[in-house]
Structure 1
Amino acid sequence: MGSLIINKVKYFGDNYFYESPDLHPGVNIILGDNGSGKSTFSYFIEYALGGKIKPFTDDDAEGRYSLILNDKNNYVHLDLSINGIAYSFKRFINSSDIFIDQPSGTQSFPLDRKSASFIFSDWLLEKLEIPVFELYLGGSHWYFNFNDLFRLLNYDQNTEPRKIYKAPLAENFVADSIIIRKSIFEILLGISSADYFKKIDKARAAMKHRDLAKALWENFTANHEVNGDFEKLSLRKTEIESTLATLEAERKGHLKENTTVDDKMGELAQVQSILVDLELKLSQDRVAIGALENEKAKIDILHAGLVQEIAQIEKIIFTHEKLDLFAMELCPFCMTKKDVVEGYCICGSKFNDDDYEKFVYNANEYKDILSHKQKSIKAINLGKAAYEDDLIEKKQRIEQNTLLWEEYTLKLKNIINTAEFAGNSTVVDDLNDRIFKLKDELLKINYGLKNSTEESRLKKDYEDKNKIFGAAQASLNKAKEEYNKNNANTIAQFNQIYSELLSKSSYQSHEAYIDEDYMPFIDNREYKANSSDVPKRLMYYFTMLALSLKLNSVKHPRFLLIDTPEDSGIDTDHLNQNLALLNNAVAFGKQPDGSIKEYQVILTTGYGKFPTEFDEFVVERFSEKEGNFILKSRSASHDETNKFPDNKGFHSHE
């Protein structure tokens, strides 16, 4: 199944920056004092993966991250590998879009499903080989996003350990309901087979379609008179049509013997006038269509140009931080640091904001330009749609007028051919009566045939949909058997690993397994101190990692982010004892040949609050005492400013 490995974490802004050391598969430990930036490191990862970080929003009532919120032109940049393929994610602060740099080029995806049918989460789940899963909750419809699954990939310090699952983004009774949590667990462990649930939806839809078809059929037969003898009606229709043809030919022959032409001339002139008017309208519409098509071609050219510009700007947004050729702090010739007074050029000349032109923009300005271009292309799309609507309308009018022209042309021919038929007689009246009666009978027969045809169609539609439902139900029953069989095996292995890990943890349990809601049931629910909630939750996450390493059916991407698991008053010795069991969890996941699949665990913790055997896994250190915080000020030193460019554009006097 899919794997996720974080390679590097970056933050860039006008005032602050951060770039992590290279991270690697396996265990990566981020050390730090309280307040030095451990949780910020985790925030950056979650934010770049599409999560909502409350301190990064101005409306957070619990506390805002002012250094980041007051920074300008700032974003988080994540280098990572998915199934061994390198990608880069870039997300601006307070942005609902994520830019992805991938081998095929740069793309941007929205985070909100309301703004697009295919969003960032869909892209990420597709790469991780996890189907986009839908759940129907009564009248509600729930799409599972990567953020939902991340609730069992991220052991965060803001969620009470006794709750197991990370708190949802939207804290309401639906988002944190039992059925949602069970579905997250099932999707990650591959026991909630997407194929099985799709078959459930397919069977439900088939049953709904069958019931609707049956209701339509029964309603039609109840409200319409249906003559089931279709062949008899058809035969009688053929007889009447033959008789009518004979009678009408006889009437026509009789009328030819009594001719006059004068009374047809007025009708002839009227039809000719209508034909001339129709030909004029057709000519005008064809000219208008030619003009519209020329204008639409120009709009298409403009649209294609804008699409190309947007693609270029998206690429620039991703690579812009690497271009520092025109920083105002450096001389463009000797590239040495030069103190420049605000409002003065490098040459020393004074200028106002209105006296210069920007040739290179900062990343945030490029993002604004992109937004403007995207709005422009929306306006162009509206223009294209308007032209297309006008073209469709005029083509439809031409089609309608062409049919009218053909109709009146035929009518004109008939008037000319029948101009001589003006006579009348008793014989003609008798023929007219017989023709009228036969046409009345033919009308009733046609109505009966129509009802019989419609009834047969509705009946066949019901029978076909009933067969489809039967096939869908049989397929569902077969999938359910397989589903239950696979689930029992996976759950049994989960219970075995979880029970063994928890017995070796500071919890020191005797028996542990998960109940029907996949929640821990330990030692018959005997009371334990609050500190026992840490191993109970941590071993749950370790067990899922172990199963992802062991079983190919598990969808879990073999990634864990553990942020400061020192909650509920647990002491350091017990914390270290529990963290050391990560090695046991990985050992459970060994393949039959002794190999271990690639995985990654990122642990943020305090100094001394991790097992000593994990010393070699420390990749980053923060310290409040030494003033080494995660966010580095750009104004701290000249060297740091050069190493992490601030992307200010070069300016020229006008």
Structure 2
Amino acid sequence: MTLFKPTLIVNHLTVIKDARVVLEIQFHKGLNIIRGHNSSGKTTALDFIAYTMGAEDIPWKKESLLCDYSVLDVSLNGENVTLRRDISEKRQQPLYIYWGQMAEALTAPIVEWEQYPFRRSSNKLSFTQILLQALGLPEAQGDGASNLTMHQFLRVIYADQPSLHSPIFRIDSFDSALTRETVGNYLSGTYNEELYSAQLSRRNFEKDLSQAESELKSIFHVLAKSDQYVDLEHFGQQILDAQRRRATLLEEVRLLKAERTIKSDQRRSEDDGATRASLDSAKKELASTMDTIVRIELEIADSRKFIEEVTSRLKSLDESQDARSYFGSIVFNFCPCCLAELKVGNGEVCVLCKNPMDGNAGEVQILRMRNELLLQLKESEGIIQIRENEVRALRLNAPELKQTLRILEQRYIELNQFWSSELELSLENASREIGSLDREITSLYENQRLASVIKDLQARRDDLQQTIHALDSSIEVLLVSQEDRKSQVFYAVASALSRLLKKDLYRQQEFRTAEQVHFSFIDNQIIIDGSAKFSESSTAVLRHLFHLALLTASTEIPTMRFPRFLILDGIEDGGMERPRAYRLQEIIAEECSTYEVDFQVIIATSQIAPSLNVEEFVVGRAFTEDQRALAIL
């Protein structure tokens, strides 16, 4: 069969308690039926599958909470990955990932498992990000500043029993119309990646704009309390005026000292030594600051080169994966070193290195390498941000250090000039005024630096506002183009649902005709020929056939992100009569038989149709009151 991406297949479920397997089910591609008596644990098995893939709000039964953890072997676009999650009533448990099959994972040391949290952080990817990368899917922004998670996707993929009257989505504690719309559009493939990127960029720019405005507000609030006026050009002119006055006074002092001289005394020698020490210290501090700036700038340049290299390697990994996919395994007839003819050996052993070959090893290694490179990329970008902040702070401090150095140099020169004792009073007055001007100039430089910070923040705020405005225009255009793709997918789903409903037993008048089919992810509602209210059993039929219609559309439209995977529970919910329950299962099986791509449907029923109670469809043992799903006792 053809493999559409993304495709998710569950291969093996294992639940562990006290180092002992208490539930184990092997699955296959296509239709899988878990059967058993009511309250025997069928739903429990489905809950473990969804939970191990990242679902939240699982209504755990007390027997389930006695278990330690669940392990799930899944195929993500044909590559085996093993997932493990500790069983707990606490929300947002992390997920452990092993890049290989379950048989290897269960015996692998703990260091070969990678732990990922439910939520992302500045230095850690979430397990949703990792699984989406493995499925070749982009991230998507949800309600507010959040990003969609595997939990939100599984709200559509897993139709569980408690959500009978929630026809499209599983019931969720934190639900919103915007989140439902985004999840539905994402899985149906109508959520544009470029649109997502623009919305994500806008979100980041809005965060930066909010920070800049907050900083400006804080600064102006302090200035208002201190009754200060901050203007960059005003302070610059004041500094020039003060420096000119100081230069005039210095010239007056020089002329006074040139008239007569006196012998240097001990106090002057001490002042001279102290000034020289301060001057040396100021020179060292300025030199250290400038050296630090140069060093950090070199580190930033080196980090940027490293980022370019990592980006290049990521691109090379993608090209390597494409090349492997296109050419397959290369067979060497001659040794590339000595040109001797190579003997053809076992096809499962490499002809060069003689190591066992695993057809999926290369792809799994590429996934692992891509994940490591992405982590390095994220860390390097964070380091660059820190270094740039350090350089910015040092550059702001440099003018003040230079001014201090100039003052000390001038003071040292003054101390080494000769002066006459009868001029002492005039010189002291001039020196006192010069000292006052020095303090004034220092204060002006500090105010000038503050004004420079304000000016930079104002310029950044204006640039961010213009950028956000441009993004808004781009997003508006992309939203229009998205509607065209949405119409195609929604028509395919509605057509499939109309056709499937007509195959139901004649119990609901609207299902017999089903001429006008409308559904809304935003409203979480399905309307058939103008009606959205049906009997309990008809509501169950409608819910399952809608999800099946989604799956059908995903097998026909490659651009849909619905992972060709479906879990249906409560086939006979709503007091459904047995013939209708049988017919619903037969409709599902008949529809699945028409698919020409890889897919998987897992359903649970207590009334399996006789025609489907065969090895081709059933998985695991039949659960009963005496032999329940969880073999805890």
Partner of 2:136: 129
Q: Which secondary structure does the structure 1 equivalent of 2:43 belong to? A: helix
What amino acid is aligned across from residue 131 of structure 1 in structure 2?
P
CA distance in 1, matches of 2:451, 2:47: 68
- Assess if the C-alpha contact under 8 Å between 1:88 and 1:102 holds in 2: yes
Q: Does 1:619 align with 2:619?
A: yes
What amino acid is aligned across from residue 481 of structure 1 in structure 2?
V
Q: Which secondary structure does the structure 1 equivalent of 2:512 belong to? A: coil
- Assess if the C-alpha contact under 8 Å between 1:90 and 1:100 holds in 2: yes
Partner of 1:538: 544
Select which of 549, 568, 578 maps to 1:562.
568
CA distance in 2, matches of 1:494, 1:166: 19
CA distance in 2, matches of 1:250, 1:555: 83
- Assess if the C-alpha contact under 8 Å between 1:213 and 1:465 holds in 2: no
CA distance in 1, matches of 2:99, 2:32: 25
Bigger-Rg structure (1/2): 1
Following TM superposition, by how much is the alpha carbon of 1:496 offset from its aligned partner in structure 2, in angstroms?
Answer: 1.9
Q: Which secondary structure does the structure 1 equivalent of 2:530 belong to? A: helix
Q: Percent sequence identity over matched residues?
A: 20
CA distance in 1, matches of 2:406, 2:450: 30
Following TM superposition, by how much is the alpha carbon of 1:146 offset from its aligned partner in structure 2, in angstroms?
Answer: 0.7
CA distance in 2, matches of 1:572, 1:600: 25
CA distance in 2, matches of 1:443, 1:17: 75
Q: CA separation of 1:269/1:108 partners in 2, compared to 1, >3 Å: closer, same or farther?
A: same
What amino acid is aligned across from residue 518 of structure 2 in structure 1?
Y
CA distance in 2, matches of 1:453, 1:406: 21
Gaps of 5+ in 1: 57-62, 283-391, 591-595, 635-654
- 1:563-642 maps to which residues of 2 (within 5 A)? 563-583=569-589, 585-586=591-592, 596-609=596-609, 611-612=611-612, 616-624=616-624, 627-632=626-631
CA distance in 1, matches of 2:439, 2:66: 84
Partner of 2:94: 97
Q: Deviations over 1:222-256 (max 9, x none)?
A: 985869899xx87x987986786466245314314
CA distance in 1, matches of 2:179, 2:25: 37
Partner of 2:491: 492
Q: Does 1:513 align with 2:513?
A: no
Following TM superposition, by how much is the alpha carbon of 1:433 offset from its aligned partner in structure 2, in angstroms?
Answer: 11
Q: Deviations over 1:36-69 (max 9, x none)?
A: 332232122123223347564xxxxxx522xx54
- 1:344-355 maps to which residues of 2 (within 5 A)? none
Partner of 1:472: 471
Q: Deviations over 1:22-45 (max 9, x none)?
A: 422111122222233322321221
Q: CA separation of 1:448/1:91 partners in 2, compared to 1, >3 Å: closer, same or farther?
A: closer
Partner of 1:522: 528
Q: Which secondary structure does the structure 2 equivalent of 1:134 belong to? A: coil
Q: Which secondary structure does the structure 1 equivalent of 2:151 belong to? A: helix
Q: CA separation of 1:23/1:213 partners in 2, compared to 1, >3 Å: closer, same or farther?
A: closer
- Assess if the C-alpha contact under 8 Å between 1:226 and 1:455 holds in 2: no
* Range with bigger deviation, 551-560 or 141-150: 141-150
- Assess if the C-alpha contact under 8 Å between 1:2 and 1:83 holds in 2: yes
Select which of 247, 250, 256 maps to 1:248.
250
* Range with bigger deviation, 16-25 or 40-49: 16-25
Following TM superposition, by how much is the alpha carbon of 1:560 offset from its aligned partner in structure 2, in angstroms?
Answer: 0.9
Following TM superposition, by how much is the alpha carbon of 1:434 offset from its aligned partner in structure 2, in angstroms?
Answer: 10
Following TM superposition, by how much is the alpha carbon of 1:212 offset from its aligned partner in structure 2, in angstroms?
Answer: 8.9
- 1:238-277 maps to which residues of 2 (within 5 A)? 245=247, 248-261=250-263, 263=265, 265=267, 268=270
Q: Deviations over 1:277-319 (max 9, x none)?
A: x99xx9xxxxxxxxxxxxxxxxxxxxxxxxxxxxxxxxxxxxx
- Assess if the C-alpha contact under 8 Å between 1:30 and 1:604 holds in 2: yes
- Assess if the C-alpha contact under 8 Å between 2:116 and 2:124 holds in 1: no
Q: CA separation of 1:538/1:478 partners in 2, compared to 1, >3 Å: closer, same or farther?
A: same
Partner of 1:14: 18
Q: CA separation of 1:254/1:213 partners in 2, compared to 1, >3 Å: closer, same or farther?
A: same
Q: Does 1:30 align with 2:30?
A: no
Partner of 1:295: none
- Assess if the C-alpha contact under 8 Å between 1:559 and 1:599 holds in 2: yes
- 1:312-331 maps to which residues of 2 (within 5 A)? none
What amino acid is aligned across from residue 491 of structure 1 in structure 2?
F
- Assess if the C-alpha contact under 8 Å between 2:567 and 2:602 holds in 1: yes
Q: Which secondary structure does the structure 2 equivalent of 1:500 belong to? A: helix
Following TM superposition, by how much is the alpha carbon of 1:521 offset from its aligned partner in structure 2, in angstroms?
Answer: 0.9
Q: CA separation of 1:495/1:467 partners in 2, compared to 1, >3 Å: closer, same or farther?
A: same
Following TM superposition, by how much is the alpha carbon of 1:559 offset from its aligned partner in structure 2, in angstroms?
Answer: 0.9
Select which of 66, 75, 79 maps to 1:81.
75
Partner of 1:186: 185
- 1:88-487 maps to which residues of 2 (within 5 A)? 88-94=82-88, 96-102=93-99, 105-111=112-118, 117-137=124-144, 141-161=145-165, 163-168=167-172, 171=173, 175-193=174-192, 195-200=194-199, 202-203=201-202, 224=229, 245=247, 248-261=250-263, 263=265, 265=267, 268=270, 413-414=412-413, 417-418=416-417, 420=419, 423-424=422-423, 460-461=459-460, 464-487=463-486
- Assess if the C-alpha contact under 8 Å between 2:572 and 2:607 holds in 1: no
Select which of 51, 63, 79 maps to 2:55.
51
Q: CA separation of 1:226/1:193 partners in 2, compared to 1, >3 Å: closer, same or farther?
A: same
CA distance in 2, matches of 1:13, 1:212: 49
- Assess if the C-alpha contact under 8 Å between 2:15 and 2:69 holds in 1: yes
CA distance in 2, matches of 1:564, 1:434: 92
Q: Deviations over 1:550-587 (max 9, x none)?
A: 22321111111122311101122212222333356447
- Assess if the C-alpha contact under 8 Å between 2:10 and 2:75 holds in 1: yes
Q: CA separation of 1:545/1:421 partners in 2, compared to 1, >3 Å: closer, same or farther?
A: farther
CA distance in 2, matches of 1:430, 1:269: 18
Q: CA separation of 1:209/1:167 partners in 2, compared to 1, >3 Å: closer, same or farther?
A: closer
- Assess if the C-alpha contact under 8 Å between 1:255 and 1:422 holds in 2: no
Q: CA separation of 1:52/1:611 partners in 2, compared to 1, >3 Å: closer, same or farther?
A: farther
Q: CA separation of 1:224/1:69 partners in 2, compared to 1, >3 Å: closer, same or farther?
A: closer
Partner of 2:294: none
Following TM superposition, by how much is the alpha carbon of 1:599 offset from its aligned partner in structure 2, in angstroms?
Answer: 0.9
CA distance in 1, matches of 2:232, 2:16: 79
CA distance in 1, matches of 2:249, 2:486: 78
Alignment coverage as a number of residue pairs: 488
What amino acid is aligned across from residue 262 of structure 2 in structure 1?
T
- Assess if the C-alpha contact under 8 Å between 2:497 and 2:545 holds in 1: yes
State TM-score, norm by structure 1.
0.61
Q: CA separation of 1:8/1:211 partners in 2, compared to 1, >3 Å: closer, same or farther?
A: closer
State TM-score, norm by structure 2.
0.63
Following TM superposition, by how much is the alpha carbon of 1:536 offset from its aligned partner in structure 2, in angstroms?
Answer: 0.9
Q: Deviations over 1:309-343 (max 9, x none)?
A: xxxxxxxxxxxxxxxxxxxxxxxxxxxxxxxxxxx
Q: CA separation of 1:422/1:483 partners in 2, compared to 1, >3 Å: closer, same or farther?
A: farther
Q: Deviations over 1:373-417 (max 9, x none)?
A: xxxxxxxxxxxxxxxxxxx9xxx9xx99x99x9999969955762
